[in-house]
Amino acid sequence: MSTNFPYKRVLITGGAGFIGSHLAERLLSLGCEVEALDDLSTGSVHNVEHLLDNPAFELTVASVVEKRDLAISVDRADAVCHLAAAVGVRLIVENPVRTIETNVSGTENVLQFARKKGKPVLLASTSEVYGKLAVIPFSEDDDVVLGASRRPRWAYACSKLLDEFLALAHFRENNLPVVIARLFNTVGPRQTGTYGMVIPRFVSQALAGEPLTVYGDGTQSRTFCHVADAVDGLVGLLAAPDTRGRVYNVGGEGEITMSELARLVIEVTGSTSEIVLVPFEQAYDEDFEDMQRRVPCLNKVNGAIGYQPKKDIRTIIDDVLAWERTRK
C-alpha cells in the first residue's frame, strides 16, 4: 500500500471493533492521526489498548446515534471511515430493533455531518445486501434478493442496503465524496465468536476439545477474507479519488463449505473434537433463513486500486488460532 495517503486525520466510527482496530493500526502506520469513536457495545477497549499511549491516537467512547459527540468528531477529521454497525448473525436475530436503529440512524447522522463540511466518507457495507441471490460470484451491479420481512435475518441486509442508498443519494444530490465497500466474511485476530462469527467459534471449540457445531447441513459455503487484506481494500478505496460514488466488493478468494471448514480447523488445531450438525431453528429460531453461497467478484476493486487478497483460508485459521492461544 502506498504511503502517500491524502488525509492527515481520520475518524473511524466503530474504531474499537475488530476491523476498526486493525484499520486504526494501518492508518497510524501511514502517519495519520486517528480518532476511534465507539460505544463499546460490541467493540472493546482491549482491541485498541496498545494504541492508547500513541499521541496520534484518540479513543472517544460515544455512539453514532449521539449527535453532539459525533458532530465534534466529524468536524475535527479530514475523512471518515464509517464502520459502526450492529454486527454478527446472533445479535441481528436477537436484537432486530437495535440492528435497524443503529445501522440506519447512525449512518444518517454520519452522512449529514460529513455533508455539512464536505468530508470524504468510506461506508463499510456487507455482502449480506445480496441476500439470496443465486448468481455466483456476486457482482456490484447484480440485483439483490431479500427474504420475507417476517424473517429477522434480512433486517440487517435491508438496513445496510438503505445505508448504501442514502450514501449514494448524498453523492448525487449533495456532491458528498463517498465510497462504499461491501465486506465479505472478514476474519482475523481480535474477532470473537460471541455474535456468531464462525471461524473464531470453531477454533475456540477445537481448543477446548468441544464439538464443533455446524449449523444447518454444513453444505452452505463462504469465502473468507483476512482482516489485513480487508484493511488494504478500505485504505485503498478511501485514498483513491476516482472511487467516489461507487460500490466495491472487498473480500477473499477460495470458497469453502462449513463442513469443510470445520474439518480444516480440527486439522490445523490438532484437535480431537467431533463435528455436530445443529438445525438452524435450534441455533437461532424457526424463522431463520441462511444464504447458501457467498462469493465475491473482485474484478471491479482490482481494476480500481489493484486490490488482491494475499492470505488464504489456512493462514486465516493459523492467525486466529495464534490469537486465541495468546488470549487464553
DSSP string, 3-48: S--S-SEEEEETTTSHHHHHHHHHHHHTT-EEEEEE--SSS-HHHH
Residue owning grid cell 460470484: 137
- Number of neighbours of residue 31 by Cβ within 10 angstroms: 10
288: which 3 cell numbers? 431463520
Relative orientation angle of helices 227-239 and 18-29, to the nearest 10 degrees: 60
The dihedral sign for the CA sequence 194, 297, 300, 31: positive
Q: Please pick, among 7, 130, 156, 307, the residue that the annotation labels catalytic.
A: 156
User: Is the peptide bond prior to 120 cis by the omega test (within 30 degrees of 0)?
Assistant: no
CA 301 to chain centre: 16
E strand residue ranges, the chain: 9-13, 33-38, 57-61, 79-82, 121-126, 178-183, 186-187, 212-215, 221-223, 225-226, 247-250, 255-257, 275-278
Answer for the pair 237, 304: CB distance below 8 angstroms, yes or no.
Answer: yes
State the pairing for strand pair 121-126/178-183. Answer: parallel
In three-state secondary structure terms, 189 is: coil
215 is catalytic: no
Please give the C-alpha separations between residue 309 and each of 118, 233, 298, in angstroms, as whole numbers: 31, 9, 9
Catalytic residues: 156
